[in-house]
Structure 1
Amino acid sequence: MKEHEFSDVVWYKKRDLIYLDKIVPKNRINLNSSIFIISYYSEWCPNCHYDSRVLVEIFNHYKNRNIKFELIMMYASFEASHSFVKANDLEMSFQMGELLEKNDELLIGTYFTKFKLEINDTRKWGVPLHLVLGVKKDIVGIIKGEIIKENLVEYLNE
């Protein structure tokens, strides 16, 4: 069994993240929300399976507040990704990421990989990864790994 990769929220200035706009799904962001959480998962990733339990708890607690959630499934087919979403009771909307297969050669050219380099994420595939937008206008919170629930909830309750 794979070890957990827990990670706290690290805050970055948006202006320092050149590739942020390339990986954030603008067509799905609700600008009326005060906070928007975007989670990047892959169905074959053990840490994504672990982390999905925490994300479900957070989603269920905050879904009726002014916090919106979007799930982006990476490195797998729509069918496999949809099965992961259903099996893990992830009720938030989801869409597919830019690479629909686990392919080392294609990985290098993705915006997601370029973004990972920007934030010094040394994990090969970079999932799970979470973006927390809207807590403050000019910054973005990034969780490079599994959510530490207490730490994220602290920010969401501010």
Structure 2
Amino acid sequence: MLADRRKNVYLSFISTDLPLWNIIEGNASLYQKDRHKFHLLLNQYNLPQSSYSKDPTPSLEGEDKTPKGLLWLEVSPSRVILTMQSNGSFSYRHFWERGVYGISRYWLNANTPENSSSFRLRNFTRFLQFDCDPFPTRVQIDYELWSSQLKLGSYVLHLDIDRAI
């Protein structure tokens, strides 16, 4: 059962213990894969920058409309996978599942495959909320990021999806 719906989305990424947040607002394509499994695809025209100011809204003047990457979310009531494929030098994939340690993998892309590298971190999902009526309207993930025995911070990923069809 494949249903394509254009939706307005608001995606925020916040660190609860560091001055770091990113916000993406835009249009996304929502595909229904199963009863409660969905894929959400969002082209990134301007990759968000870490914001330290009180106004995290980027300037729209002179905005480049060439896609810089693709955000792909696979969402279900118990699991979320977020993949960012970039045209630039950095890509990542996060796997979150309620109450378990998942994997966060990062790729550093170079001009040649020999110079490219990747690394993995663990994340622990403390809270995962998935609201669906009948399509997803909200996803929130609270998680910790770990490197071996060192906690690298606590984070919140929040996704609001417009209900209008």
- As a proportion of its length, which structure holds more strand? 2
The TM-score, its normalising length taken from structure 2, stands at 0.30
TM-score, normalised by the number of residues in structure 1 = 0.31
Name the one with the larger helix percent.
1
Over alpha carbons, which structure has the higher Rg? 2
